[in-house]
Amino acid sequence: MARRVEFTPSRFRRKIWELDNFDVSRDGRWLAYSANKGKQYAVYVMDLKTRRDRTVATSEQAILNPELSPDGEWIAMQADFEGDENSNIFVIPRKGGHAQRLTEPPMDHASPRWSPDGTKIAFISNRNGDRENIFVLDAAGGESRQLTFEDDIVQEIAWRPDGDAIAFQVGTGNLDWVGVVDLQGHVQRLAGFPDAEAELADEFGGGWNHAHPWSPDARELAFSSNVHDHVDIGVVNVETKAIRWIAQGPRDKAMPTWSPDGSRIAYLEHRDGNVVLKTVDPRGRGATRLSPEKGVASHPRWHPDGKSILYYHSSSVQPPRILLQRGGRRTVLLDCARARLPRHELGELKFVRYTSFDGRKIPAMIVMPPKSRFRGAALVEPHGGPEWQVMNEWDTNTQFVVAQGFAMLFPNYRGSTGWGRAYRHVSNRDLGGADMQDIIEGGRWLVKRRIVPRGRLGIVGVSYGGYSVAHCLEKAPDLWAAGVSIVGYFDWFTACANERGSLMKYDRWKMGNVELETEHFKTYSPRFELGRIVAPVLFTGGAHDPRCPVGEARQMFADMKAAGKTVEYLEFPDEGHRPRKMENKIREIEATIAWVDRFLPYERGS
């Protein structure tokens, strides 16, 4: 018998805002941020004196990644067409008004960054050969100039404080390096290692991050690297290239951010699913934790006074907030929860480990619904990436599922971030192999521990997680009662032919040459083994998806339907790689819940 549920998508999805990125004006007066407050991502500005905010830019398309000009009068931002990730860059007055487009479709132009004097905007674009490189143009508009010509992918940029050069990060997660390019296009490699990665602003696998790695005097650059296996924070001297390590140890770190007065460097530190914000002096002394121990801190940004710092924080039971911290005092600037949450229906993620088929210990997060609501069924959700991880942070969809009485297990299978370089790269050339066994063993662990009985397991995944769903349903068909594959891919040959260039580069690094290694890639393509799938499956796709092209889900659905399988398909004609529009987000999670509820219902008497 189903329980009455208060925390449902139709009631709460529009009452919990979603945040993208934010910036602070150089005078500390204005906070610009991108958020979805119920319809689509838009840009807002908050007056930090009065705490009042106003809408600056709205559209049917997602507007993301705002950055304030040095004088605080303008905002640069990016927007794409229905999720196709071919973004264009716009500038708009901080007070609102006409938005001027600075770049032309159809290629991707992203990550706009104002020069220190406000006369130029640097950005990343794949307009040349479908490879992301650095371009710069006048803030008033006009023709842009290409500064770098890397065959690999530029992922992050940061102007040097004197405005004469730009730091950048190159790579797709394999042998990434950090360099600097001047305005004449001369490139200097500053931090790179023959068997490790160096990065500016990777927050354990995702997002535009607005790196601020420069010392105020422009002589040194902070970065992170896994040259010691676990990711440490280093500082490189731009002139001598000498490196000193200021934060080392057995926990991965990320996002070094130099304070405006040069006295401290903030960074993030991963602790078994939690992420804390810490600061240290430039010589590596006096490390201090600022954020709460539980939950995930992200997007650190120093206030111009050098004494305060802003950052995002959330936990599995606390939606995101923007916090301003000065010493031990925290002030909430923005709270994404716009209504009281029914805490009695939510569950807290907890860190666990289980043993995989080869004895490897797999870190994971598990969440149990309240005992009175537990339906005796669980969903295993492998994350996307694959170089990513699930942490103790807020995810609205997770709590919607938990409120319906499901337990959930999130395996951070081999290849995930957060546990050092060796763990991150152990799955190279084996995506869809041993990592899938890790996920399957997570399901078996739930049964062995008697958390759920046999026959009461489902599997749900997004992107690489959607690919994982198909694999796991094939490799362990007797384990699963239902599956939901959201924007996945299923055939390496067609996926590699149609995906965007940065992913082609990543896949070549990670798996090999799909044109030359036919049998290798066929082995890892679940489309060729779909006859083994027994469980009913719901597939979803986005018509404009450049990452997992929609043809993948369409073809898998058609093949399974022709084979007489129990299968359904949901497509979003106005979205890309996962919905951004709130109405589509609601449709997606409601369809997911309805599907697993259909095949894993409340048992009589439970």
Of 102, 120, 146, the one marking the end of a domain is 146
Same domain, 320 and 172: yes
> Residue 69 — very low, low, confident or very high, per pLDDT cuts 50/70/90?
very high
Output the pLDDT for position 325: 96
Share of the chain above pLDDT 70, in %: 98
Q: Extract the runs of DSSP E, i.e. beta strands, from 242-295.
A: 243-247, 253-258, 265-271, 274-280, 288-289
Domain match, 422 and 562 both? yes
**What is the C-alpha to C-alpha distance for residues 355 and 396, in angstroms, rounded to an integer?**
29
Alpha helices in 46-155, H assignment, sequence order: none
pLDDT for 180 beyond 90: yes
Place 335 in a pLDDT band, splitting at 50, 70 and 90: very high
CATH code of the domain in which 234 resides? 2.120.10.30
Cis peptide before 106 (omega within 30 of 0): yes
Closest Cα partner for 537 from 453, 459, 457? Answer: 459
Q: Say which CATH number the domain at 581 has.
A: 3.40.50.1820
Question: pLDDT tier at 500 (50, 70, 90 boundaries)?
Answer: very high
**Per-residue tokens: 358:** 């080869």
Nearest of 277, 270, 271 to residue 310 by alpha carbon: 277
pLDDT single digits (tens) 565-580? 999 999 999 999 999 9
Cα separation, 73 vs 70, whole angstroms: 8
* Confidence bin at 201 (pLDDT 50/70/90): confident
Residue 46 included in any domain: yes
pLDDT tens digits, one per residue of 397-410: 999 999 999 999 99
113: nearest Cα among 68, 73, 56: 68
Instruction: State the pLDDT at residue 202.
Output: 75
Task: Give the pLDDT confidence score for residue 606 in this predicted structure.
Answer: 54
The 10s digit of each residue's pLDDT in 223-251 is 999 999 999 999 999 999 999 999 999 99
Q: Is pLDDT of 338 > 60?
A: yes
Considering the domain architecture, whether residues 255 and 374 belong to the same structural domain is answered as no
Domain boundary among 146, 175, 192: 146
Q: What is the CA radius of gyration of the chain?
A: 23
Q: What are phi and psi of 537, to 5 degrees?
A: -130, 135
Arithmetic mean of pLDDT over the chain = 95
- Place 50 in a pLDDT band, splitting at 50, 70 and 90: very high
| 477-511 as b/e: b if 16+ CB within 10 A | eebbbbbbbbbbbbbbebbbebbbebbbbbbebbb
List Cα–Cα distances, 516 to 432, 441, 511, 520, in angstroms: 19, 32, 12, 9
Evaluate whether residue 10 is within a structural domain: no
Q: Which pLDDT band, with edges at 50, 70 and 90, does 7 fall under?
A: very high
Rounded-to-integer distance, Cα 64 and Cα 241, Å: 35
pLDDT higher for 209 or 558?
558
Collapsing DSSP to helix, strand or coil, 394 comes out as coil
pLDDT digits (tens, 9 = 90+) for 504-527: 999 999 999 999 999 999 999 999
Residues 391 and 368 in one domain: yes
Q: Is residue 153 part of a domain?
A: no
| 210 confidence band (pLDDT: 50, 70, 90) | confident
CB 507 within 8 A of CB 455: no
CA distance 117 to 594: 54
On the question of pLDDT at 605 being above 80, the answer is no
Cβ atoms of 120 and 130 closer than 8 Å: no
**Hey, what are 506's tokens?**
């990543």
State whether 75 and 180 are in the same domain: no
Task: Please enumerate in sequence order all residues whose Cβ is within 8 A of that of 240, keeping only pairs 6 or more positions apart, or say none.
Answer: none
- Measured CA to CA, the distance from residue 255 to residue 336 in angstroms comes to 23
pLDDT at 598 over 60: yes
In a domain, 12, yes or no: no
Q: How confident is the model at residue 2 (pLDDT cuts 50, 70, 90)?
A: low
Provide the Cα torsion 68, 69, 75, 77; round to 10°: -80
**329 and 245 housed in the same domain:** yes
Average pLDDT for residues 177-184, to the nearest whole number?
97
On whether residue 152 sits in a domain, the answer given is: no
In a domain, 1, yes or no: no
DSSP 8-state code for residue 91: E
14 and 2 Cβ atoms separated by less than 8 Å: no
Whole-number Cα distances in Å, 278 to 202, 253, 312: 16, 10, 13
pLDDT at 603 over 90: no
Percent of the chain whose pLDDT exceeds 90? 95
Domain count across the chain: 3
438 and 457 together in one domain? yes
Residues 273 and 394 in one domain: no
Q: pLDDT at position 377, please?
A: 98
Over residues 424-447, the mean pLDDT reads: 98
Position 604 confidence tier, pLDDT thresholds 50, 70, 90: low
State the DSSP string of 398-455: HHHHHHTTEEEEEE--TT-SSS-HHHHHTTTT-TTTHHHHHHHHHHHHHHHTTSS-TT
> Is 112 within 8 Å of 121 (Cβ atoms)?
yes
Residue where a domain stops, chosen among 293, 323, 338: 338
pTM over 0.85: yes
Contact 484, 538 (CB under 8 A): yes
Residue 106, domain member (yes or no) = yes
- For residues 127 and 71, membership in a common domain is answered with yes
Is 114 in the same domain as 238?
no
**Residue 265's CB: how many other CB atoms inside 10 A?**
26
Overall residue count recorded for the chain in this entry = 606
Residues 411 and 326 in one domain: no
Residue 402, CB half-sphere, CA atoms under 13 Å: how many? 25
Q: How many CB atoms lie within 10 A of CB 51?
A: 12
Q: Residue 111 belongs to what domain range?
A: 17-146
* Residue that has been written with the tokens 């004197």 in this structure: 162
The two structure tokens encoding residue 557: 């659905």
E strands, 428-535, in order: 457-462, 482-486
Question: Above 70 in pLDDT, residue 1?
Answer: no
Look up residue 188 and give its two tokens. 């200097």
Cα–Cα distance, 364 to 254 (Å, whole number): 20
What is the phi/psi pair of residue 217, to 5°? -85, 0
Q: Does the pLDDT of residue 391 top 60, yes or no?
A: yes
Say whether both 76 and 25 belong to one domain.
yes
Distance separating alpha carbons of residues 551 and 527, to the nearest angstrom = 12
Instruction: With respect to residue 8, please indicate whether it lies within any of the assigned structural domains.
Output: no
Peptide bond between residue 370 and the one before it cis (omega within 30 degrees of 0) = no
Residue 203 above 90 pLDDT? no
Segment 88-115, tens digit of pLDDT? 999 999 999 999 999 998 889 999 999 9
